[in-house]
Amino acid sequence: MKINFKTLARTQNYFFITMFLILLIACKKEVSTDYTTIKTQGEALAELTSPPLVPKPIGDRAAIKLKVNMEIKEQEGTMADGVKYTYWTFGGSVPGSFIRTRVGDEVEFHLKNHPDNKLPHNIDLHAVTGPGGGATSSLVAPGHEKVFSFKVINPGLYVYHCATAPVGMHIANGMYGLILVEPEGGLPPVDKEYYVMQGDFYTQGEYGAKGLQAFDMNKAIKETPDYVVFNGKVGSMTNGNELTAKVGETVRLFVGNGGPNLVSSFHVIGEIFDHVHVEGGALTNKNVQTTLIPAGGSAIVDFKVETPGNFILVDHSIFRAFNKGALGILKVEGDENKNIYSGTIQEGIYLPEGGTIQKMPENSSTKTVAPKRTLAEKISNGKQIFGTTCFACHQSEGQGIPNSFPPLAKSDYLNADSKRSIKTILHGLSGEVTVNGKKFNSVMPAQNLSDDEIANVLTYIYSSWGNNKTEINPEMVKALR
């Protein structure tokens, strides 16, 4: 009994000593995360990049005095095809130049306002500890320069933006960007790094209205944007500007949200983020499908691409992606990996009630006899079919949706070959097509329509929106079925 008690007491002692040691180590660790006292060694000029590029990693170097030259330019740019907008920019791009620092760096910031600009500007960097994040010291008139300096003492990915009255308008016109503060030793190495930043835009005209579009303050106050885009414009990362990677590579995205109003539900279709630095801070989450990025906030996401194909970056508040522009593409090339993704193995028929599966058995409607109709009947009948079946993608005036669904209005693709049009409705269409000079790479499913219905809807389409008025008969459809 006695011995047993002694052993117990000894064990208890060991326990306390161990606990004490653990606490001691923990405390020591706390002390080493105070970066205010880091001494800088030497100085250099910061490398700045426009999106989607990111400067080279620098986390493994010592803290230095880093000079940043940032020029503000008010300039006209392209929001979408045929749509111009006057952007206010940090460094000539929206979002502004990417600034990469290491914790402990002393940043000497030179903010220059181009002489041709009309307005004064300043900068609030969320990475700054100090009044206004630098805004109090940086109000700069056109044709002038302001210099201020700050020490970056918290690792993370931070938004910077203009904070001159009216602040909302300056941000809505594109005055935001990202500044990265790398931890000691840097972030884990990856193969590809990209810079993506979302923003919402408010224009006098509706989405797609041509010409130079003015900023609309009323829409901004109501928070009803016409455009929600990545990197300042529709199509910044599609149609030849895709982000790229090879199968097996790891990809890191520095994602920001400039707002001014909307919160982003950032998602990459067909990928799962291996790691997410939640809100750009130290907390790391794993295996994330969609991460929330607040206006004026960020996230660092990384993932390994295991299969080839196009991976679509979206704001999963999904109408923003397909109707307002928040869509980009990461194009991955390399060998298929059938263990991870097989592709379609078999195409079958499933016939529940309702129209979810839109593939018809071959020959199913060949026996029904189509009624004879006049041209006017066909058009009015076809219009109704269009309104229920086609318009969701091709839109009410056949204008389609840029980069997603091809136009039917004045469509060269459509007018060139009516047989091809019939086959498209009968059998669906996938893969790249060029319509009116624009490339589309999407999928249209086969449509569950009778010969008569297909003839009617095509006749309606051909007789509308400047198309060539081809008349389609049910017999022509039947012949191609």
Residues of this chain that bind another protein (CB under 8 A): 74-76, 86, 115-120, 122, 131-132, 135-144, 163-169, 212, 214-215, 217
Beta sheet of 250-259, edge-to-edge order: 227-230, 192-201, 250-259, 297-304, 273-277, 284-288
Min CB(166)–another protein separation in Å: 5
| Residue number with CB closer to another protein (132 or 281) | 132
Considering beta carbons, is residue 140 or 408 the nearer one to another protein?
Answer: 140
* 291: exposed, middle or buried (Cβ count in 10 Å: 0-12, 13-18, 19+): buried
Q: Residue 131 or 466: which CB sits closer to another protein? A: 131
Nearer to another protein, 101 or 164 (CB): 164
Taking residue 446's Cβ as centre, other Cβ atoms within 10 Å add up to: 16
Distance of closest approach, residue 263 Cβ to another protein, in angstroms: 20
**Residue 291 CA neighbour count, 13 Å, CB half:** 30
Rounded Cα–Cα distance for residues 201 and 315 (Å): 15
CB of 165 to another protein, least distance (A): 4
Positive or negative, the CA dihedral 265, 271, 272, 274 is negative
Report the half-sphere exposure of 7 (CA within 13 A, side-chain side): 4
| CB proximity list for 42: less than 8 A, separation 6 or greater | 62, 64, 65
Minimal distance, residue 85 CB to another protein, in Å? 8
Q: What is the nearest approach in angstroms of another protein to the Cβ of residue 80?
A: 17
Q: Shortest Cβ distance from residue 76 to another protein (Å)?
A: 7
Residue among 115 and 343 whose Cβ is closer to another protein = 115
Nearer to another protein, 122 or 265 (CB): 122
Instruction: Supply the minimum distance, in Å, between the C-beta of residue 185 and another protein.
Output: 35
Note the residue count of the chain: 481
Q: Which residues contact 314 (CB under 8 A, 6 or more apart)?
A: 266, 267, 268, 269, 320, 321, 326, 327, 328
What are the DSSP calls for 390-439, one per residue? Answer: IHHHH-TTS--BTTTB---TT-HHHHH-HHHHHHHHHH-EEEEEEETTEE
- Report DSSP letters for 282-298, one per residue: S-EEEEESEEEE-TTEE
Single out the residue of 122, 190, 129 nearest to residue 155, CA to CA.
Answer: 129
Q: What is the DSSP string of 159-197?
A: EEE--PSSHHHHHHTT-EEEEEEEPTT-SPP-SEEEEEE
CB of residue 27 to another protein, shortest distance in Å: 38
CB of 223 to another protein, least distance (A): 15
DSSP state of 133: G
